[in-house]
Each structure stands twice: as C-alpha cells, then as structure tokens.
Amino acid sequence: MKNLRLKAARAAQDLSQQALADRVGVTRQTINAIEKGDYNPTINLCIAICKELGKTLDELFWE
C-alpha cells in the first residue's frame, strides 16, 4: 500500500523525489519505492526523511 502521507509531506515542501533523496543521502529510486509502498526501509532512513520533512515517525510511518 502506498505511503501517501509521505508523498503529501514532500509535496508540501515542494521537493521532488530527487531533491528529497539528495538531502537524505539515498537514491531517487529508494524514495520512489518507499512512496510506492512495496518496500521495507530501515528506521534510520525513515528518521532522516522525517527530519527533512518536519514530521515525526508516527506522522509518516505509523498506521
């Protein structure tokens, strides 16, 4: 299932997948895969994404 909260939070900051990936230090495909949802990222990556988007783990990754 897609992670639409992540997609929305990224859009709210006007960041492309590429731009977010750069800031977080991963590739665009990794961000894409996480948003797509068929993926199980590490928590450190999740935390890095959250910090960059000004959100918490619960806000972006808790159901």
Partner DNA sequence: ACAAATTGTAAAATATTCTTGACAAATTAT
Partner DNA sequence: ATAATTTGTCAAGAATATTTTACAATTTGT
CA distance linking residue 46 with residue 57, whole number of Å = 7
Q: Residue 33, interface with a copy of itself (CB under 8 A)?
A: no
Q: Which of 1, 14, 38, 40 binds a copy of itself (CB under 8 A)?
A: 40
Angular region, 45: left φ>0, alpha ψ -120 to 50, beta rest: alpha
- Contact partner, 19, from a copy of itself, DNA, none, Cβ < 5-8 Å per class: DNA
Q: Which of 29, 51, 57, 59 binds DNA (CB under 7 A)?
A: 29
What Å distances lie between residue 34 and 38, 59, 60, CA to CA? 7, 15, 11
Tell me which residues touch DNA (CB under 7 A): 16-19, 25-30, 32-36, 39-42, 44-45
